[in-house]
Amino acid sequence: MLTPLSDPLNLESLDLDNPHVLLKTLRTLRQMVATEGQATFEQWRDRIIRPEFLPSALNLAHYLALRRRDLRGLQTALMPWGLSSLGRIESRVIPNLDAAIATLSRVCHPQHSPTPGRSPIDPNTFFEGDRLLGQHTQALFGQPLSQRRVRILVTLPTEAASQYEFVREIVKRGADAVRINCAHDTATQWQAMIQHVRQAEAETGQSCKVLMDLAGPKPRTGSIITPDDRHRLQLGDRILVRSPNAIPLDPSSFDGFQTTCSIPEILDQLQVGASVWIDDGKIGTSAIATQVPLPNNQRGILLAVTQVPPKGAKLHADKGLNFPDTVLHLSPLTCKDYQDLEIVASQADIVSYSFVQTADDIALLQQALAQCLPPDAPLPAIVAKIETPEAVRNLPELIVQAAGLQSFGVMIARGDLAVEIGYQRLAEIQEEILWICEAAHVPVIWATQVLESLVKRGIPSRGEMTDAAMAERAECVMLNKGPFVAEAVTILDDVLTRMQAHQLKKTPRLRALRSWSY
């Protein structure tokens, strides 16, 4: 989320219909963006070890300087001149501004124009950002299959450890990478899955990267105590949440529901009024007390139910808890993660990082990976899962810290992110993440419930087919596990291949339309 800027350009006071004023405004804007962007880039410079990321970091700094301003009036003024490309400026900020300035200069000063018929901007320079994004995507996911630009990432089920044919089938159908969720299965099973992937690569001749997803801290409900007379939550009901080792209240003295939080230190960080969502946002609550006395001088928090389905909802154990109003001070690496890294660091091509929120979190994982590997061994790539408002706010710093040292990508974890920021803001924030990452030439994984009905039941919904088509704006699409995931790979491959003929990121490609007779 970019901080608004008090704009010295004052676009509203300018006569932007006048091409000479418009040209002067563009030149002033370009100077401001270049100066402010360079200053930001210099603050980052010492953290960037990889020389190939330097031009991308500079472009990101320019983009942040540009997008702090409200440019709607300027964009509208450029459109009648055929210069609306500021809306597709992400990967090439300065070249795009230079191209618009050069064209307007020809309009305003035709006597000074260069030789007619020649572009004022070198096409190689203009499209350098697109080349860098492709280069960084290939470094993360390997060579693309056929002509499909967007990669497909498939989450492996437990059966992949024992059924080689399944792994070979999804690779053959077009999976560019597989995901192993370290929250499930065992290290022995993970290694069997990886062995099957390597065997399938050798047999099919197709590259398939292995992404291992660290579990991270996942707050969940524990055992449930319900009132004697009812078992479904309704609006206004109260839920007492305590640490797992705390003694519950006697149901005869507390007419509410009771559960525990698997990460009890979170309870000390909540304030009255803070929102708490349960079970992927199915149950909404608000903290109404944070120091509820419990036996043995312990304390709990009291929640009031503020949102629930019309018929109520059951409170179940082992369901996720989200705290969107609270910046949680938790280490993103748990004891289990440190144990898993002993395998992950050497076996994975890509390490997926849950609950990352700050640049320091990225540095923590980088240090842990280095400690697990021999000196001078290359670090595996990192994918940061963006799932909290704090991660969104810190996204540029996350990118610089990670991509400055190793191959890097971003996953839009739309499930947790939707609960954390509100479903009504998901589409908006998803777009902002895509823009920021494109400006940094960082590949993005479009994740959570893509083609979910197809994967689980064999028949897609209309809405999820549109969602899959929209995923062409990213560099990779993730499928969850399910009995029909192989079929989903085939359909997604077809959808993405068709869509790239029409669209490249935000840019229409204007392939000839053949759906009508005329």
Structure confidence by residue, pLDDT tens digits, 304-334: 999 999 999 999 999 999 999 999 999 999 9
Q: pLDDT category, 65, cuts 50, 70, 90?
A: very high
Whole-angstrom distance, CA of residue 506 vs CA of residue 503: 7
**Segment 254-282 mean pLDDT:** 95
Last residue of a domain, one of 262, 289, 322: 322
Residues 196 and 312 in one domain: no
Instruction: Give the integer Cα–Cα distance in Å for 286 and 353.
Output: 29
Q: How confident is the model at residue 486 (pLDDT cuts 50, 70, 90)?
A: very high
DSSP structural state of residue 221: B
Q: Cα-flanking dihedrals φ and ψ of residue 238, to 5°?
A: -110, 145
Does 311 share its domain with 202? Answer: no
Same domain, 344 and 491: yes
Q: Which pLDDT band, with edges at 50, 70 and 90, does 392 fall under?
A: very high
Report the pLDDT value the prediction gives residue 400, as an integer from 0 to 100.
Answer: 98
pTM of the predicted protein model: 0.93
Is residue 430 one of the residues assigned to a domain?
yes
Mean of per-residue pLDDT scores for the chain: 93
Residues 268 and 143 in one domain: no
Task: Please say if the pLDDT value at position 10 is more than 90.
Answer: no
pLDDT for position 75? 92
Q: Are residues 292 and 179 in the same domain?
A: no
**Are 315 and 335 within one domain?**
no
pLDDT band at 156 (very low <50, low <70, confident <90, very high): very high
Helical (H) or strand (E) element with 498 = helix 485-500
User: What pLDDT score does 147 carry?
Assistant: 81
Per-residue pLDDT at 247:
93
Whether residue 225 is contained in a domain is answered as no
Residue 359 pLDDT > 90, yes or no?
A: yes
Q: Is residue 3 part of a domain?
A: no
Residue 2 has pLDDT above 90, yes or no: no
In this prediction, residue 198 carries a pLDDT of 97
CATH code, domain with 256: 2.40.33.10
- Name the percent of the chain lying above pLDDT 70: 96
Interatomic CA distance for residues 257 and 224, integer angstroms: 7
Q: How far apart are CA 43 and CA 386, in angstroms?
A: 23
Tell me what pLDDT residue 6 has. 52
pLDDT value at residue 119 = 63
Summarize pLDDT for 339-351 with one digit per residue, the tens.
Answer: 999 999 999 999 9
d(CA 441, CA 90): 9
Clarify whether residues 203 and 337 are in a common domain. yes
Same domain, 386 and 434: yes
Residue 69 covered by a domain: yes
Residue 134 has pLDDT above 90, yes or no: yes
Other CB atoms within 10 Å distance of the CB of residue 129: 25
Tell me, yes or no, whether 363 and 260 share the same domain.
no
Q: Domain range spanning residue 444?
A: 133-217+331-502
Among 112-126, 139-153, 207-221, 256-270, whose mean pLDDT is lowest? 112-126
Contact 369, 379 (CB under 8 A): yes
pLDDT per residue as tens digits for the range 441-457: 999 999 999 999 999 99
Task: Read off the CATH number of the domain in which 167 is found.
Answer: 3.20.20.60
Asked if the model's pLDDT at residue 257 lies above 70, the reply is: yes
224 pLDDT more than 90:
yes
pLDDT exceeds cutoff 60 at 121: yes
> What pLDDT is recorded for position 109?
86
pLDDT of 230 > 60? The answer is yes
Q: Is the pLDDT of residue 5 over 60?
A: no
98 and 188 inside one domain: no
Confidence check: pLDDT of 394 > 80: yes
**61 and 165 housed in the same domain:** no
Q: Which of the residue ranges 70-74, 440-444, 507-511 would you say has the lowest mean pLDDT?
A: 507-511
- Inter-residue contact 244 to 176 (CB < 8 Å): no
Specify if 369 maps to a domain: yes
- Residue 491, judged by CB atoms within 10 A of its CB (0-12, 13-18, 19+), counts as middle
Q: What is the pLDDT of residue 405?
A: 97
CA 424 from chain center: how many Å? 17
- Looking at the domain assignment, is residue 232 inside a domain? no
Average pLDDT over residues 409-434: 94
pLDDT band at residue 114 using 50, 70 and 90 as cut-offs? low
Range from 232-246, 308-322, 496-510 carrying the lowest mean pLDDT: 496-510
**Is residue 342 domain-shared with residue 465, that is, in the same domain?**
yes
Domain count for the chain, please give it.
3
Specify the DSSP class assigned to residue 483: T
Q: Is 512 inside a domain boundary?
A: no
pLDDT interval class at 3 (50, 70, 90): low
Q: Give tens-digit pLDDT for 87-97.
A: 899 999 999 99
What is the pLDDT, as a whole number, of residue 259? 97
> Would you say residue 117 has pLDDT above 70?
no
pLDDT number for residue 231 = 87
Last residue of some domain: 126, 153, 185? 126
More confident residue, 450 or 147: 450
R_g of the chain computed on alpha carbons? 26
Closest to 475 in 3D by CA, of 205, 87, 140 = 140
Within a domain: 507: no
Residue that finishes a domain, picked among 72, 97, 126: 126
> Over the stretch 159-215, which tens digit does the pLDDT of each residue have?
999 999 999 999 999 999 999 999 999 999 999 999 999 999 999 999 999 999 999
